[in-house]
Amino acid sequence: GAVVSQHPSWVICKSGTSVKIECRSLDFQATTMFWYRQFPKQSLMLMATSNEGSKATYEQGVEKDKFLINHASLTLSTLTVTSAHPEDSSFYICSAFKGTGTGGNEQYFGPGTRLTVT
């Protein structure tokens, strides 16, 4: 199997503080991880692609200085929401890409982190 964990599973923080979310691939190495955000009753929106050993690639409209991504090892990517505001409250989900070697697209999702900013 392929297991991806996220920590914390939920967090409440005050406006203006920073929050770090960890995404780990537990039984495989992932050179690429993805970070998504999902607001209630909306789709998962890709925020950025996290590449091990290099800078993340952000989707259009996502502030890279606000959402800091670090992919320091093949099993860990972190997303830091800096100076969080209530509008950043959302469900943040990561996924880790496990290449099949045959061109298959296998992404394994973490259980998500529910962030509430008060």
Stretch that binds other proteins, among 12-20, 41-49, 72-80, 81-89 (CB under 8 A): 41-49
Answer for which of 7, 20, 66, 114 binds other proteins (CB under 8 A) is 114
- State the Cα–Cα distance between residues 95 and 99, nearest whole angstrom: 13
Cα dihedral angle (64, 117, 108, 45), rounded to 10 degrees?
-60
Which residue type is seen at 93? Answer: I
Can residue 15 be called a binding residue for other proteins (CB under 8 A)? no
Can residue 82 be called a binding residue for other proteins (CB under 8 A)? no
Can residue 95 be called a binding residue for other proteins (CB under 8 A)? yes
Residue 89: Cβ within 10 Å count: 17
- State the Cα–Cα distance between residues 56 and 53, nearest whole angstrom: 9
Q: Which residues bind other proteins (CB under 8 A)?
A: 32, 34, 36, 41-46, 49, 57, 91, 93, 95, 97, 105, 107, 109-112, 114
